Structure 1
Amino acid sequence: MPISQSLHDEVAKKLQDAREAALATVRTRTDSPGDEAPSISPMAHAGQNDDAPTAEMIAHNEEHFADHETALLHEIDAAIGRLESGGYGICESCGCEIPEQRLLATPTVRTCVPCQERIEKEEGTGRGPTM
């Protein structure tokens, strides 16, 4: 059964807002005024008295953030695609409906909670107990 129109509209807005925020983050990281090196390059963080390892560490962190934003944009675009094609809200693992609260909490989610827990257990990627 397809998701309700109200849920569709709310999720579409959340995904669009998240997409714009991620794109804005990517732009601020990669846009550089004038002839400055983009902030992602190692030399962008090397001041006159800075050591190269510190600059490299900062550049590595910038690359990590850029990779994260790129992956996030991919997830958002995939969710928008499922929303437009009518496959949104269906667990990719078992085919069951994903509860509305889960979709609203994490609009890019692809699986129901039991399948997500099983996948994390199999891959060893679960966060484990939380406080």
Structure 2
Amino acid sequence: MPPLSPSVSEVLSKRLHEAREDLLATLRSRTDAPDDEAPAIAPLAHQGQSDDAPQSDMLSDIEQHLADHESALLHEIDIAIGKLESGGAGICEACGQDIPEDRLLATPTVRLCIACQEQLEKDRHTGRGPSM
């Protein structure tokens, strides 16, 4: 299996590290707050004096869901950075075949080749095709 070309490796590294920093900043904005304020993710952060409690709860739930999603994405980015640094980037985790550089450039956190991804989606019934 040929390693990634140096130019693709450099582009992937730059994009992954930038995405990681952006995500960390976003997560910090949800969880950090001045001493006299609750962070955006806090249960009562969206409730004012005359606010509707269910709406406040819904907004807090949305903030929590977004933070969970961003944390999962951060984990995927960390895995991709680790694989890139160890020389394992571009190798399908399921079959061991090469993942095309164009696929990696399109989605730097991809872990499966197209054939294995299609099989996974078929097995889990999560593909984009018809559901009936």
TM-score over 0.5 (shorter chain):
yes
Please give the root-mean-square deviation of Cα atoms over the aligned residues, in Å.
Answer: 1.1
Distance in 2 of aligned mates of 1:18 and 1:97: 24
1:19-47: per-residue Cα shift (whole Å, max 9, x none)?
01111110111111222111111211011
Q: Which residue is equivalent to 1:99?
A: 100
Alignment of 1:38-49 (within 5 A): 38-49=39-50
TM-score by length of 1: 0.94
Q: Partner of 1:86 in structure 2?
A: 87
Q: Does residue 120 of structure 2 align to residue 119 of structure 1?
A: yes
Structure 2: 5+ residue stretches without partners: none
Q: TM-score, normalised by structure 2?
A: 0.93
The runs of 5 or more residues in structure 1 that have no matched partner are none
Give the counterpart letter for 1:47 in structure 2: G
Give the length in aligned residue pairs. Answer: 129
Q: Which amino acid letter does the alignment assign opposite residue 112 of structure 1?
A: C
Deviations 1:70-99 (A, max 9, x none): 001100000010011111100111111111
The aligned residue for residue 73 of structure 1 is 74
2:26 corresponds to which residue? Answer: 25
Matched residue type, 1:78? I
